[in-house]
A and B are shown apart, each in its own frame.
Chain A
Amino acid sequence: MSQDEELHAMDADRLEPGAGPDGPDGDDHPEHDDEHDDEHDDAPPLADLAPTPIHGYWKSLRELEGKAAFQVGRTGHEFPAGSDQPPRDPLSRRNFFHLMGASMALAGVGACRRYEKEEIVPLARRPEDQTPGVTQQYATACELGGVGHALLATSFEGRPIKLDGNPEHPFASGGVVPGTERRAGCSAFVQAAILHLYDPDRSQNPTADHGTGSSMDAFRAALPQLRAGLAQTVILSEASSSPTLRALRTRLIGQGVRWFEYEPLSWDNERAGTRQAFGRPLRPIARLDRAQTIVTLDCDLFLEHPAAMRYSRDFARSRRQNGSLGIGKMNRLWAIESVFTNTGAMADHRLALRAELGLPLAIALDARLSGGTAPAAEFLQEPKVEKFLRFLVEELKANRGKAVVIAGRRQPPEVHALVARINQALGAPGATLDYVEDPDGDRPSHLRAITELTRAMTAGHVGALIMLGGNPVYDAPADLDFAAALGKVKTSIHLHEYRNETSLASSWHVPRTHFLEAWGDVRTWDGTVTLAQPLIAPLYGGLSAIELLSLLLGEEKGGEELVRQTHKELGLEAGWKQNVHDGFVAGTELAAAAVTPVAFQAPPLTAGQQAGSLRTNGELEVVFVQSSFTYDGRFANNAWLWETPDFLTKVTWDNYALVGASTALGLGLDNDTLIKVKIGDREVELPCYTIPGQAKGSIGLVLGGGRTAAGRVGGNEHRRVGWDTYKVRTTAGWDVASKATVTSTGKAYTLANIQEHWDIRTGIGGRPEIHRDATHVNAEGLAERLPELIRETTQRTLNDDRKWRAEEPEDFFNDPENAGNTDRPHEGGYSLFKEKDYQGHRWAMAIDLSTCTGCNACSVACQAENNIPVVGRNEVMNNREMSWIRIDRYFSGSIEDPQVVHQPIACQHCEQAPCEQVCPVGATTHSDEGLNDMAYNRCIGTRYCANNCPYKVRRFNFLDWNKEWRDARNKVRRLLFNPEVTVRMRGVMEKCTFCVQRIQNAKIRAKAQIRSGQRPGSVSAVLPDGEIETACQQACPTEAIVFGDLADKDSRVARLHEDRRSYALLPETYTKPRNRFLARVRNPNPEFAAALQGGHE
C-alpha cells in the first residue's frame, strides 16, 4: 500500500457513499442525499488538503448519535479543522493517525513551500513611529466587484488586525454635516476580508498542470514563452477600477492582447440603460441626503448597491429625528421589489412585485410622469398596485426636484433607461441625482464579455488565457460551459488567493497577494482615486494582478513602482506621500456630466409582463440574489460571514430558495424541506425558505453556495456548504429567469436558523393553515409583547403630538397621589440592594431603530474586535452562536405585506444588573463607570447569569472554540487576534463589554497627553465626546449606534437618552439599562396610509 492509498483507506469510512465530484451535468449533491447515513465522520482525504492538512473535526453529539433532526449527512459535514471551527478531540486515535499520516504525506509533497533563509536581528533602536503594544492605523483600500472601498487598517506590531472605513475619504464619509460624526461605515464583506489574509487555506505556491505542485521560479521560467505569444493571449479579469491596471491594460492591448472582464454580480444594466437614455454610458449617483422621496425599483440600496455604505449614511441623515440633533424633514422611501431586502425592510411603503414586472411598472410610471401611453398590463389594474402607484405618482409630482428613482442591477437596461427618463421628468439630475461619466465606458458588458470569450475559447481562438482573479468555472453562466471551453485552451493561468475551481481547471495557478499585502489603487464609486498600501509582507508569497501584468510585459516592476508610475502619469507625483497617508487623491472624483436625453422606445411587453400577479407552476420567475454570506461565492471560505445571520432570514451556513409564503402554500412547499427548481432543462435542489412579503410567483435563488474548491470552511469536492445555484443561471436568465417549475422533493433539511421558524410562519396574522404543533401560543405571545419591545411611531405623530414619548411614564411613581411616598429611594423603582452612586464617567449607548438598516456591519466588527469565535453550523442549530451583538428581527402585519421590525441587541449594561447578583463567585461585577464587567478568569461557568439576563445577551463557551488555533499549522490564524482582548477558554461566560479595551486606551492616551502637556485639561476630566468609539459604532454606516459618557450632559449619547424617542428595554425588570433604544419612526404617506387603513379609497 502506498502512502496515499493508506491515507485514503484510513479515511474510507469518513467519506459519504458516492461523495465523489459531481459530473459536469451533476444535478444532485450526493452528500446531501437523504438516504445516506449521518454517522460518518467528515474528513476529506488528506491528499486534497496538503500542504495544510487537517487534523481535528468537530461535531456535535447529536450528530454523532446520527439523529435525523441533525441532518449532517445531508448538509455535508462540519468544516474541518483549520477553519474557524474547534475540534472535538484532537487526540483521538483517529486524529492521531491523521496527524501522523499528514506529517508523512507532507514530507513527500513536492509542492511544499520552502521559506527563504532569513536572519532575525533584534532592533537596536526602536523605530521612530512605533511603540510596542500600541496599534497604528494606515489608510488603504480594497475592491469588491470592481468598486473600491477606502479603508483604515489597524495594525498591531506589524500585523493588520482590523479593517474599518476611512473616515477621511470624501466619498466614504460624505463629509461632516451637523449632527453627524466624521465616520465611514464599512460593510460586513469588506471587514471580514481580513480573515482571508490569515486563512491557512490560502494558496501558498503556484501549481502547474491542473494542480501539480510547482514554484514561482518555474512560473517565471514559463513566462518568456507566454510573452512571445501575446497576440494569441486573452486576459479575463475581475472587474477592476484600478487606474494602474487600466494603464497596463492599455499597453497590453497595444501588444495584441484581448481583454475581457467578468463579474457574476454586475451593474452593467445601468450602463446600458443610460446609454439608451443619453447615448453614452453614465453612472448615476443619487444624493439621498437631498431627496424627500426615494423610490427603489428592485434595488437594495443598503446592502447590495456598490455605494451601499454611503447611501445608508445619506439616507439616515434625514431619518434621524433627534430633537436637538434632528436634521431637516424626514424623507420617505418607497420600495418596489421582488425579494425582500434590507431596503424593503426600511421602506415606508413597499410593494412586492415580480422582478419581470419592473418594466411595465416603469413604463406606467414614465407614462404618468412624463406623458405617454400606459402599458396594457393586468397587474396594474389590481387594487393594491393601482393604489400604490396612484399615491406614489401624486407624491412624486408634488416633490419635483426632491425625488429620485433608483433601479436595481437585476432590472433590464430598458428599465434603467425609463428610470433615467422618469428622473429627468422629476428634475432629479443636478438635484438629487448626479450622472458621472463611466470611467470605463468602452468595455462590453460582463455578460457579453464572458459569452464572447467562451465562444472564442471553444472555437480554439485563444492560445493562452490569463485570468486575473475570479472564478468563472464556478460562476460563469451555466449554458456557456466555461469549464469545457477552458479545457480547450492550451495555456491557462489563474491568479487567485485561493486554489479554487478555476485554478484546478487551469494549467497554471499563481497565488495572488491579499490586498493588505500589495500596493494598488482603486476608484471608489464616485471615482475618487484611492490608494492601497500593504500592511504586511506577503505571508505566502504571490503576485498582485498588476505585478503579474508587469511580468507579462517583461518589466518585472514592483507594485509600488507601478502605482507610483500611474500616479505620475496622472500628474499627482508631488502629493504622493500625503496621498498615501490619506489613502486617496483629493479632487479626483468624477465630475457630474451634463446629459441630454435621447429618444428611445420601450420594448413591447411579454406575456408574462402583461399578466396579473398570480402565476402557476411552470411560469414562475426566478431571481438570482446576492448572498449575504459569500457575495457571489468568493467569500465562501469565510467563517465569519457564513455565521453572520442573514438580516431577514436569520439563516447561517446555507444558501436557499426564497419563496413567498403564499406561493409556498400554493405549491405545497414547506420550510425545512428540499425543493427542486427547474429552469428549462436545468434544475437545482436546495432548501426552501418561506418568507413573508416576497412577490407572488417569484422565487429567489441565493447565489454563492455549493463551492467545490473553496477551502476547508466553504466546501470542497467532498463536503459542501450550501447549494450551487449557478447551475441554473444561464445567459438567457442571468438576473431573472422565467418559466421556472418548483417541486417539493419531500426530503427534510434543517436550515441553521438563529431564530426559530415559528415566527416566519405563524408570527403574522395567526393564519390557521400554516400553524403547526403548538406554535399559535408563541404567535400570540409574540404579538402581545412586540409593541412593548420595539416601539414605533410615525413622523406625523411625532410632529403633531408634542407630548408623545416612546416610554410611558411609570404610572405609580408619577401619580401625584403617590408623590409623598417616601419608600421610594429612586425614581421609577426599587432595588433590594443599595444602588450605586456614579461619580465619574457613565458609559452608555443609544441605538436608533430608525436608522439601523440591518447591514450586519456591527456584528462582524464586533467579531473582529473582540476575538469572537465561530461555532459552526451544528452549534448554531444547538443555539450556541457566540455573537455579542445580534439583530433580532420580527415581522408584523400581513403575510403579503409585512413590515419588518428589528433591534440590535448587545449587553445592556444594566445599572441594576441581574446577572451580577446571582454570580456565586463575583465573576461579573459592576465597574465604577457603570460597565458590567466580566472577569473571565474568575468565572466558573454556572451560567446562572445568563439565565437571569432578561435580554439573553450572555454567551457561554460550551466547548473550546479556540482549541484549533493552538495547533501549529493554524498558527497563522492567531495573528488576527486582537491582543487587547482575552481569548476565552471553554467553560466561561462572555458578552459585550462596550469595548472596554478602547475605553481604557482612550483614557490612558488622554492622561498621558495631559501629563506631557500635549493636551490641556485635567487628568480626571471628562473625555471629549466621540473620542471613544466602540467597534460596532465605528462600523455602523448610519451612526445608528452612539456611545459616550452620560456624565457629559452635552454628549450625543446623553442627549439621545433624554430624547423622547428613547426607551429602555423591559423597564419593568428595573434593570436600569445603560443602553437605550430610540423608537423607530416610519414616515408613511398620510393619505396612502389612511386609504390603506380604511380599506378603500
Chain B
Amino acid sequence: MGLLNRMGTVVKAKMNKLVDKMEDPRETLDYSYQKQLELLQNVKRGVAEVTTSKKRLELQKAKLNLNIDKLSGQARDAVKAGREDLARIALERKNGLMSQVQSLDQQIENLNKEQEKLQATERRLSAKVESFRTKKETIKAQYSAAEAQVKITESITGISEEMADVGLAVQRAEEKTEDMKARSAALDELLEAGTLEDFTGGDDDIEKELAKISATSNIESELESLKEEVGK
C-alpha cells in the first residue's frame, strides 16, 4: 500500500470522527457549520501567531544590525587611533553577530512562507464555509427527507475532508511557531546575558578604550597649545 493510500486512510479516519456525530441529519448540518466557524477562527489565530513571531524576529534582527553598524564604526575609529588589537576585537564580534543575522533571515523567510500558506488556507476555508452555509439552507428548505440525507452526506464528507486538512495545517503552523518562539527566546537570553553583547546600551569596553584614546589626544593637543601660549 502506497503513501497516498495511507494518507487517504489517515484523513478518512479523521473525517469519520467528524461525521459520526451525525444523528439527526439536519442538526448535523448546523453542528458542522458551527465547527467550521470555530476552525476558521483557529486559522485566523494561527495567522496572527505567525505574524507576531515574524515581527519579533525582525525586531531582533534590527537590533543586531544596529550593533553591527556600531562595531564597524568602532573598528574604523580603532584603526585611526592605531589600535589594531581593538579593531580586531570589534571585527570578530561583528562577524559573530552577522552569522546570527543570517540565521534570523532564514527563520524569517520560513515564517513568511508559513504565513502565506496559512493565509491561503484561510481564504479557501472561508469560501467553503460560505458555500456550505448556502447549501445547508437550500437542503433544509427544498429537499425531502430522503433526498436531504444524500445531499447532507455529500456536503458533510466534502467539508469534513477540508476540515481535517485545515486542522493539520494549523497544527503544523503552531508547531513551527512554538519552535521559533523557543529559539527567539534563547536569542533574547543570549543578548541579555551578554554572550552576544548588546552594544547599543551603555558604554562597552571598546567604546571606553576609544574614549580614553580620544581624551588623551585632546589633552595632548590642549597641552601643546598651552605650551605655545606660555612660551610666547
Q: Is B truly associated with A?
A: no
